[in-house]
Structure 1
Amino acid sequence: MKNSAVLLPKRFILSVFLIAIFVWSLFSVHWNSDLLHTGGWPTMLQILKGVIRPDLTAEILALGLKAAWITLAYAVTGMSLAILYAFIVGILASGTLTSKTVSRLTSKIFFRGILGFTRAIHELIWAWLFVAAIGLSPYAAILALAIPYGGILGRIFADMLNDVPQEPIMALKAAGASKLQILIYGYLPLVWADMISYTMYRFECSIRSSAIMSFVGLGGLGYQIQLSLADLKYNQVWSYIYFLIVLVLLIDGWSNLVRRGLVERKRVKGISIGWLSTLLSVVLIIFSWVYVTEDVHFLELFSDKNIQYAQRFFGGMFGVGNPHPAFFDKENWSSALKLTIETLEMSIMAIGFSTIAAFITVLPAARNIANGDLTLTKRWYNWILFGVVRVLYIFSRSVPELVWAMMIIFLFKPGLLPGAIALALHNFGILGKLWAEVIEDMDSRPIRNLSSSGASRLQSFYYGILPRVLPRFLTYILYRWEVIMRTTIVVGFVGAGGLGMQFKLSMSYFQYTNLTLLLICYMVLVVIADFASESTRKAVK
C-alpha cells in the first residue's frame, strides 16, 4: 500500500509535467493563417479524393507489384544482416561470455556503446551517407537498414539475456559447463521465443523503412509515391500506399504465423508450422539477396573509384583540407543548437498530438469494451466503432512518416508544425494499438464491480480503467517519443524544419563539416532522449 501511495503521485506529477512540456512546445508555432499555403486546402482535397478513387489500371497494378517486391527484398536483405550483427554484438554486449567482473563491465560498456551509436542514427541518414560515399548501390540501402536495425535488435537481445533467471544458469555452472555451453543450453532457450517475437515486429517496421529509401533514389514503393506526388497524380499515390499497407499486413500475418509455429509449436497435418515458416523465410532471404545484388558484385564496393569517393566524403566530414570547419565555428554552433531545440519541440508536439488522438479513440478500439465484457454494457454501434478505429490505426501506422510529410507539406508551409503532424499521424496508430492491447489484457473484475454498482461508462474509465493502465500508457508514450526523436530529422528532408531540413541543404551544397556538426547535435539529442525516457520509465514502475 505504501508503494502504491508513493507511485501514484509520481505518475500524476509525471503526467502533469508531460502536459506542461507539450503546451510549451506549442508556443514554438505562430498560430495564424500564414501557416497554410494559398490554395492548400483545394490541393489537400484532391489528395484525399485519391483515398476513395485510387488508380487501379493494369499498368499501375503491375508497377505496384514490382515496387512492392523491391521494397520487400530490400527489407529482407537488410534485416538478415541486422539479425546477424545483433546476435553477435548483442551477446557480447550482455557480458554472458565473460566471467570476471572487470571484463564483463568492459564488454558491456564497449559493445553497448557500438549498439547505441549505430541505432542512434536513422536509417535514411545512413542511406544518405552511404550513397554519398559509394554511390547509388543496392548495398547502400542494405547497409543503411542493417546498421540501425542491428543496433536496435542488439540492445534488446542484450537486455533479454541480462534478464534471464539465474537459477538454471547457476545449475549449469555447477555442472561444469563452459561459457559457450551455458549460452547455448542455458541463456538462448529461455529467450529464444522473445527474440523471435521482437525480430518479427522489427521486420514489419523495416518494410516501412525500406519504402522511404526511395528518397535517395533506391527504388521501391516510396520511389513511386514520390514520383506520383511530383506529377500531382494523387490517385496513383494512394494506389502505391495501399500496396504498402497490404504488404505490412501480410508481413504482420506472417510474423504471427512464425511466432505461433516456433513458440506454440503449432502443427498442420503433422507438419510443424515453425519449421515450414523457417524454411520459407530462408527461401525468401536467398531470393531477395539474388534479386537485389544480381547486377552488383560485393567487391565493387572496394574498387579504387569507390575508395576515392569514400575518402573524399568522410575526409570532408572530418574537415580534412578545410581551414575553417563548421564544428569549430561559434556561429555555426549557435545556429545548430537553435535547430536542435526546434527539433526537440517538434518531437514533443508530435508525441503530444498522437497521445491526444490515441486517448480519444482507445476505448472503442479495445475488443473487451466492444463486446461488453469489461463494462457489462453492450451497444449496437460498439463493433462498428471498433472496426472503424482499428482500420484507422492500421492506415495510420502503415504509412511512413516521410510519406505523410510529403503530402502534408502541400497544405502547410515549411516549419515545425507539418513535421509534428506527420510524425503524429504515423505514431497515433502505433500508440492506439498498443494502448488498446493494454486494456484488453487487464483484469476485468474490478471494472465489472464498478459497472454493476451503477457507475457510468465514463466513471468506469476514470476510476477503474485509467488508474490501472496509466503506468503502461506512460511507458509507451515515452518509448514512442524516443522513436520520434530519431525520426524528426527525416521529416525535415521535405521542408518540415529542424535539423533535417538543414541537413539536406548542407548535403546539397557539399558542406560536409556542417553535416558533421548537425549529426553531433542530432546524436546528442537522441542520447539525451534515450536517457531521459529510460530513467523516467524506471521511476514510475
Structure 2
Amino acid sequence: MDRSWWNFDLHKRKILSLLLLLAFLWSLTSIHWNQDLFHGGGLKTAKQIAAAFFSPDLSKDILQLALESTWITLSYAVAGMSLALIIAFFWGILASGVLVSNLKTKRHVKSIFRGQLGFMRAIHELVWAWLFVASIGLSPFAAIFALAIPYGGILGRIFADMLEDVPTQPIKALEAAGAGKWQTLMYGYLPMVRSSIVSYAMYRFECAVRSSAIMSFVGIGGLGYQIQLSLDDLHYNEVWTFVFFLIILVILIDVWSNLLRKSLNSSTAVKRQLKLSFYSLILLAFGSWLSIFTIEKASLSMLFTKENLHYSGQFLKGLIGIGDDQPAFLSSDSWANALSLTWETLLMSILATGFATIAAVLTMVPAARNVADGSLTLSKKWHGWLTFSFVRAGYIFTRAVPELVWAMIIIFIFKPGILPGAIALALHNYGILGKLLAEVIEDLDSRPVRNLASCGASRIQILLYGVLPSALPRFLTYILYRWEVIMRTTIVVGFVGAGGLGQQFKLSMSFFHYTDITLLLFFYLALVFAADFISEKARYFIK
C-alpha cells in the first residue's frame, strides 16, 4: 500500500495553506453580514464617489492647490528618507557586527542594535507622528522624524542583513593584506552591497511618499490633508483630483526607481543615467530641505524652546503615569478592554489578508507577461495584452493609494467597525500582492506548464497542476510577509473609525489619556512582534 501521502514533509505547504484558509473563514464569522453594515445612505454615497471618479475637478485653483500639496508631500518624504538613510547606515553597520572581531562581543552588539531597529520599525509612522505632535507640537519636523525613524529601522535591518550575507573570501583577502576593520568595510563590504541597498532604498522612497501623504491626519499639510478636507465637505470630484496627483507621483517615482535599478549593473552609456539620477536625488534633497526651512518656516531651534521641553516632559511623564492617580496599566478593566481591541485588530488583519489574497489569486494569471504573450500556456489570445494592461493598471491604482485614504473613503459607505478597515487594507495590499504573485508566474520554469498546455489542459487545470505546485512556496512567503505589514498598519485605519486598537488610540490621544496610550502601544507592539514571529516560523516550516 502506498503511504506517500502520509509523508509530513511532502504536505507541509498544503497544511499551511489549509490553516491559512481556515483562519480566514473563521475571521469571516466575526462579521454580522446584514444591511446594518452600511450607513443609511451608504450605497448612494458609494455611487456618488464612483461617479466622481470619471469627472475630477480640473479647475485652475484646484490644480494649483494639488501641485502645491504634491510638493509638500514629496518634500516631507525626501527629508524623512534622507534622515532614514543616515540612521540605516550607522545602525545597520553596528547591527551587522562587521566591525567587531570578538564573537561574544559581536553577539551582544548585534542584539542591542537589532533590537533598536526592531523597535523603530515596529511602530507605524503615523503613530510616531501622533507622539511627536504631542511632544514637540505641530511642526514639519513631527512628520519628518515620524518618517525617518520607522524607515531608518526598516532600511537598517535590510542593510545589516546584506552586510552579513557578503561572501567572506574577499573580506579575508583584504584582512590578509593588512586591512583594518574600517578599511574592509569601505573597500570590501560597502562596494558589494551598494547596488542592492540603492535598489531597496528607492523602493522604500516610493512607500515614504504614500506615508507622507497620510501625515495630514495629525494636521500636517500635503495631498492627504486636501483629500481629508474634500471628503469632509463631500466634494468627491476634488477628492479624486488629489488622489490622481498622488497616484501620478507614486508612478513617476516607481518608473524612476526601475530605471535606476536597471542602470546599476549596466554599460557605461547607461551609467551616465545613473550619475544623472544621483545628482537629481541630491538636488531633490537640497530643494526639499530648503523648502521646509523657508516656505514651511521650520526651525530646529524652535524644537528646544522652554515651552516645548516642558510639554515634552509632561507628555513623557504622562505616558509612564507620573501624576496619574489610577494609571490605565494598573486597571484590570483597561487591560480587558485592550485585550478585546487587540483581538479585533487581529481579526481585521486576517480578514484583510484573506480578501487581498483571494483578489490577487483571481487576477494573477492574466497579469503575468508570459501568459499575456502566450509563451507560458502556448495559447495566445487576442485579448491577452488588453486584460494584462487592465489588471496591471488596477494593481498600480490600488497600491498607489495609502490604506488610510482608502479607509477615509470607505468609512463614508460602511458603519465603523473592523470590516471597513479590512477592506481598506485589502485594497491597498491587493495591488502589491497581485504584482508579486504575477511576477512569480513570470519567473516559473515554463516546461511543466507547457507540457500540460500541449496535452489540452484547461486554464484552471494549468493553474492547479502547473502553476500552483511550483509557485506555492513563494506565494505563501509573500502572503505571510504582507500579513506582517498589514498587522503593523491595522492601527492606522482605526484612526478614522475602523475599529481595533487604532480607534481607541485616537480617542485616548484626543482626551489626553496618556497611560491608556502606553497600554495600547504595549498590546500593539506585542501583536506586531507576534505576527513577525509566527510569520518567520511559518516560512521556515515550508522550506
- Band of TM-score, shorter chain: over 0.9
Q: Does 1:31 align with 2:33?
A: yes
Q: Does 1:292 align with 2:292?
A: yes
Per-residue deviation, 1:456: 2.1
Aligned match of 1:260: 262
Q: Does 1:172 align with 2:159?
A: no
- Larger deviation, residues 28-37 vs 422-431: 28-37
Call closer, same or farther: CA 1:327–1:236 in 2, change over 3 Å: same
* Whole-angstrom CA distance in 1 between matches of 2:420 and 2:261: 37
- Larger deviation, residues 403-412 vs 170-179: 170-179
Secondary structure, aligned partner of 2:65: helix
Q: Could you list the per-position Cα deviations for residues 39-81 of structure 1 after superposition, in whole angstroms to 9, with x for gaps in the alignment?
A: 1000111011111111111111111111111100000000000
Secondary structure, aligned partner of 1:267: helix
- Larger deviation, residues 437-446 vs 473-482: 437-446
Q: Could you list the per-position Cα deviations for residues 405-460 of structure 1 after superposition, in whole angstroms to 9, with x for gaps in the alignment?
A: 01111111100000000000000000000111111111212211221222222212
Equivalent position to 1:423, from 417, 422, 425: 425
Amino acid in structure 2 at the alignment position of 1:36: F
Aligned match of 2:538: 536
Secondary structure, aligned partner of 1:201: helix
Per-residue deviation, 1:461: 1.5
* Whole-angstrom CA distance in 2 between matches of 1:504 and 1:524: 19
* Whole-angstrom CA distance in 1 between matches of 2:160 and 2:265: 20
Aligned match of 2:380: 378
Per-residue deviation, 1:296: 2.0
Call closer, same or farther: CA 1:142–1:207 in 2, change over 3 Å: same
Per-residue deviation, 1:102: 0.8
Counterparts in 2 of 1:135-284, with a 5 A limit? 135-265=137-267, 267=269, 272-284=272-284
Per-residue deviation, 1:88: 0.7
Secondary structure, aligned partner of 1:376: coil
Q: Does 1:488 align with 2:487?
A: no
Aligned match of 1:19: 21
* Whole-angstrom CA distance in 1 between matches of 2:10 and 2:318: 52
* Whole-angstrom CA distance in 2 between matches of 1:405 and 1:226: 11
* Whole-angstrom CA distance in 2 between matches of 1:517 and 1:378: 57
Contact kept, 8 Å, 1:353 with 1:424, in 2: the verdict is yes
Equivalent position to 2:329, from 315, 327, 331: 327
Amino acid in structure 2 at the alignment position of 1:467: P
Consecutive unaligned residues in structure 1, runs of 5 or more: none
* Whole-angstrom CA distance in 2 between matches of 1:360 and 1:261: 34
Q: Could you list the per-position Cα deviations for residues 478-533 of structure 1 after superposition, in whole angstroms to 9, with x for gaps in the alignment?
A: 11111101100000000000000000110111100000000000001000101111
Per-residue deviation, 1:197: 0.9
Contact kept, 8 Å, 1:364 with 1:385, in 2: the verdict is yes
Call closer, same or farther: CA 1:266–1:29 in 2, change over 3 Å: farther
* Whole-angstrom CA distance in 1 between matches of 2:292 and 2:267: 33
Consecutive unaligned residues in structure 2, runs of 5 or more: none
* Whole-angstrom CA distance in 1 between matches of 2:262 and 2:293: 32
- Larger deviation, residues 197-206 vs 155-164: 155-164
Contact kept, 8 Å, 1:221 with 1:244, in 2: the verdict is yes
Aligned match of 1:343: 345
Per-residue deviation, 1:176: 2.3
Aligned match of 2:100: 98
Contact kept, 8 Å, 1:86 with 1:150, in 2: the verdict is yes
Equivalent position to 2:465, from 463, 466, 469: 463
Counterparts in 2 of 1:47-86, with a 5 A limit? 47-86=49-88
Aligned match of 1:445: 447
Call closer, same or farther: CA 1:381–1:493 in 2, change over 3 Å: same
Call closer, same or farther: CA 1:421–1:121 in 2, change over 3 Å: same
Q: Could you list the per-position Cα deviations for residues 192-212 of structure 1 after superposition, in whole angstroms to 9, with x for gaps in the alignment?
A: 111111111000000100000
Contact kept, 8 Å, 1:326 with 1:517, in 2: the verdict is yes
Call closer, same or farther: CA 1:284–1:329 in 2, change over 3 Å: same
Per-residue deviation, 1:243: 0.2
* Whole-angstrom CA distance in 1 between matches of 2:287 and 2:494: 35
Per-residue deviation, 1:260: 2.4
Q: How much identity, in percent, do the aligned residues show?
A: 62
Amino acid in structure 2 at the alignment position of 1:152: I
Q: Could you list the per-position Cα deviations for residues 148-194 of structure 1 after superposition, in whole angstroms to 9, with x for gaps in the alignment?
A: 00001111111111112222222222222211111122211221111
Q: What root-mean-square deviation, in Å, do the aligned CA atoms of Structure 1 and Structure 2 show?
A: 1.3
* Whole-angstrom CA distance in 2 between matches of 1:7 and 1:467: 14
Q: Could you list the per-position Cα deviations for residues 110-132 of structure 1 after superposition, in whole angstroms to 9, with x for gaps in the alignment?
A: 00000000100000000001011
